[in-house]
């Protein structure tokens, strides 16, 4: 109970700033938020805090241990075919059941239907989870693999431009962010730790990261391939973001629907874990009981969190974006910067990543450094997204230079920073981004450019949130290198000065 209170307190501190900003803006004359919207948002904020607290506790008790045990257990079988087959099925199943992907599929209508999109993205994640496992098994450098596949993605983007279907690009890169959501991230990251602990070498720190990074590439590739073979244009219809006067009814309806989706997602992971338990894990009952309690906490936390975001945050985010865009454009950009910094603190999977990074690196990469880099990166990405909406230009002008800088930095920083940075990009673009920031961007875009421009200008915000941490986290690594070299030079200079003094004294 003490640990649960601690987790909820941390969640309260994380969610309080963005909640306070919304209420402060509601008091100003330039914003028109009625009582129903404010009450709904307040209830959503309470559910968000409780959800994050329960989820984080559940991730510590269940999701992370399950992934670690499964990864280590599969690796000990020393059967590469079994390891790859199981990981492919696992990656595909948990992606298909990811609630964030369901939301994206419902919002976008294309030549391919929503079901085709979901299964294509799931296959993409499964395939690239295999690539990530093979990287660990054969001990290949992550940066080289990322360069290869991102160059391939850019080539496909050029093919889309030739086919005059470039509007698909923002949705494709957004899909890479939403698929690495709160359910998949803890399990996949722990899976990497378990596999690298058995199969890794002296670079096991680096090898334990990178699974989320590569799994984020698969969905982008899958959607781009579907777009190339598609002959029709994507169509988009702005969802109904109005708040129902029946507040209790809307929360209960959404909670029931969310409970079913989360149950399917977690159920697939639990069934898979139980199969592994009976086949080769053979964990003691005491440990299984602890994991079962963690699964319950995770389930309840995710249901509360997603319900709060969908009912309370999405409508308010859309309305704020719409009304902000009617005022000062620079205020809109500044608001995007501040909101991006605060949203990072409320993403549930961020806390899982920060804890695992600090544990695996032995404190070499601290939580404070991670959260600072992520806040700067995500804040900048939301501000840049608002700039793109205001001036109406293609995402290509951000994506290609941004990833070029990210991949170039990977040549100069310690490999562990590259692996952590690319994982951070996938984790940062979670349900708070798709549930609050994306509606904010859609509202601003509808106000400034019209509903027809939403797919071109508003989508892509998740992609930028996933991209900018790649630069900021690797810059932390570059700073670490410079600091270490300065310390080494100072230490060497002290030794030389001491030797000179001894020579003088001897003479």
Q: Which domain holds residue 56?
A: 2-236+252-287+301-506
**What mean pLDDT comes out for the span 346-352?**
70
Instruction: With respect to residue 13, please indicate whether it lies within any of the assigned structural domains.
Output: yes
pLDDT value of residue 389: 94
Instruction: With respect to residue 245, please indicate whether it lies within any of the assigned structural domains.
Output: no
**What mean pLDDT comes out for the span 76-105?**
78
Residue 352 has pLDDT above 70, yes or no: no
* Helices marked H in 163-210: 168-178, 184-199, 204-207
pLDDT value of residue 505: 60
Instruction: With respect to residue 329, please indicate whether it lies within any of the assigned structural domains.
Output: yes
pLDDT value of residue 360: 65
Separation between Cα atoms, residue 498 and residue 506, nearest integer Å: 12
**What mean pLDDT comes out for the span 172-193?**
78
Token pair 């629907």: residue = 257
pLDDT value of residue 397: 87
pLDDT tens, 117-154?
778 888 888 899 899 888 888 888 888 898 899 888 88
Which one has a higher pLDDT value, 56 or 312?
A: 312
Separation between Cα atoms, residue 366 and residue 384, nearest integer Å: 27
Instruction: With respect to residue 400, please indicate whether it lies within any of the assigned structural domains.
Output: yes
Separation between Cα atoms, residue 433 and residue 114, nearest integer Å: 21
Q: What percent of the chain has pLDDT over 90?
A: 18
Among 41-55, 92-106, 262-276, 490-504, the range of highest mean pLDDT: 41-55
Separation between Cα atoms, residue 343 and residue 170, nearest integer Å: 21
* CA-based R_g, the chain, Å: 23
Cβ within 8 Å of residue 255, ≥6 positions away: 303, 304, 307
pLDDT value of residue 111: 42
**What mean pLDDT comes out for the span 165-188?**
76
Instruction: With respect to residue 86, please indicate whether it lies within any of the assigned structural domains.
Output: yes
pTM exceeds 0.85 for this model: no
The overall longest dimension of the chain from CA atoms, in Å, is 93
Instruction: With respect to residue 296, please indicate whether it lies within any of the assigned structural domains.
Output: no
| 3-class secondary structure, 235 | strand
Beta bridge partners of 108: 236
Residue 41 · residue 313 · CB < 8 Å: yes
| DSSP-derived secondary structure letter, 240 | -
Beta bridge partners of 109: 235
Residue 112 has pLDDT above 60, yes or no: no
Token pair 């949705």: residue = 171
CB atoms inside a 10 Å sphere around CB 140: 13
- Ranges 189-203, 243-257, 323-337: which has the least confidence: 189-203
List strand residue ranges (DSSP E) for 13-171, in order: 108-109
pLDDT value of residue 110: 44
| Domain count of the fold of the chain | 1
Separation between Cα atoms, residue 486 and residue 390, nearest integer Å: 43
Instruction: With respect to residue 123, please indicate whether it lies within any of the assigned structural domains.
Output: yes
List strand residue ranges (DSSP E) for 211-356, in order: 235-236
CB atoms inside a 10 Å sphere around CB 148: 9
- Ranges 41-50, 159-168, 214-223, 336-345: which has the least confidence: 159-168
Instruction: With respect to residue 441, please indicate whether it lies within any of the assigned structural domains.
Output: yes
Is residue 28 very low, low, confident or very high in pLDDT (cuts 50, 70, 90)?
A: confident
CA 97 to chain centroid, in Å, comes to 16
Is residue 256 very low, low, confident or very high in pLDDT (cuts 50, 70, 90)?
A: very high
Token pair 């793109």: residue = 388
Residue 113 has pLDDT above 70, yes or no: no
Residue 169 has pLDDT above 90, yes or no: no
Q: Which residues of 67-106 are buried (b: 16+ CB within 10 A; e: fewer)?
A: bbbbbbbbbeeeeeeebbebbbebbbbbbbbbbbbbbbbe
pLDDT value of residue 498: 66
Residue 216 has pLDDT above 50, yes or no: yes
């Amino acid at each position: 109970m003490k640990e649960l209170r601690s987790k909820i307190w941390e969640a309260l501190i994380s969610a309080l700033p963005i909640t306070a900003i919304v209420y402060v803006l509601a008091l100003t004359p330039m914003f028109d938020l009625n009582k129903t919207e404010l009450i709904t948002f307040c209830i959503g904020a309470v559910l968000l805090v409780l959800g994050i607290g329960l989820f984080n506790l559940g991730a510590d008790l269940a999701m992370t241990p399950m992934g670690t045990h499964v990864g280590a257990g599969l690796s000990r079988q020393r059967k590469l075919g079994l390891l790859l087959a199981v990981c492919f099925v696992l990656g595909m199943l948990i992606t298909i059941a990811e609630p964030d992907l369901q939301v994206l599929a419902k919002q976008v209508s294309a030549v391919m239907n929503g079901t085709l999109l979901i299964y294509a993205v799931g296959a993409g994640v499964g395939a690239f989870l295999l690539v990530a496992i093979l990287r660990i098994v054969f001990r290949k450098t992550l940066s080289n693999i990322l360069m290869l596949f991102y160059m391939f993605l850019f080539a496909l983007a050029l093919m889309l431009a030739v086919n005059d279907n470039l509007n698909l690009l923002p949705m494709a890169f957004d899909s890479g962010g939403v698929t690495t959501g709160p359910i998949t991230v803890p399990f996949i990251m722990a899976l990497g730790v378990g596999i690298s602990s058995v199969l890794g070498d002296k670079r096991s720190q680096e090898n334990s990261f990178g699974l989320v990074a590569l799994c984020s590439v698969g969905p982008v590739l899958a959607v781009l391939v579907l777009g190339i073979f598609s002959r029709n244009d994507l169509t988009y219809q702005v969802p109904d973001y109005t708040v129902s006067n029946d507040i209790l009814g809307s929360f209960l309806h959404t909670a029931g629907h969310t409970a079913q989706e989360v149950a399917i997602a977690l159920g697939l992971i639990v069934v898979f874990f139980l199969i592994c338990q009976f086949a080769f894990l053979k964990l003691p009952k005491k440990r299984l009981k602890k994991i079962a309690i963690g699964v319950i906490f995770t389930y309840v936390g995710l249901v509360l969190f997603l319900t709060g975001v969908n009912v309370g945050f999405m409508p308010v985010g859309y309305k704020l974006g719409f009304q902000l865009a009617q005022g000062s454009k620079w205020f809109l950009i500044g608001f995007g910067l501040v909101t991006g910094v605060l949203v990072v603190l409320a993403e549930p999977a961020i806390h899982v990543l920060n804890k695992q990074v600090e544990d695996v690196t032995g404190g070499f990469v601290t939580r404070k450094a991670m959260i600072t880099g992520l806040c700067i990166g995500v804040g900048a990405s939301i501000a840049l997204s608002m700039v793109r909406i205001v001036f109406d230009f293609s995402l290509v002008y951000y994506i290609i230079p941004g990833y070029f800088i990210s991949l170039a930095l990977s040549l100069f920083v310690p490999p562990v920073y590259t692996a952590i940075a690319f994982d951070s990009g996938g984790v940062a673009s979670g349900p708070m981004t798709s549930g609050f920031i994306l509606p904010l961007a859609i509202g601003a875009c509808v106000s400034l450019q019209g509903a027809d421009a939403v797919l071109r200008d508003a989508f892509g915000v998740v992609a930028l949130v996933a991209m900018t941490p790649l630069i900021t986290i690797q810059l932390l690594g570059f700073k670490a290198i410079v600091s270490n070299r300065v310390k080494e030079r100072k230490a060497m200079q002290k030794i030389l000065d001491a030797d000179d003094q001894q020579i003088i004294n001897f003479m």
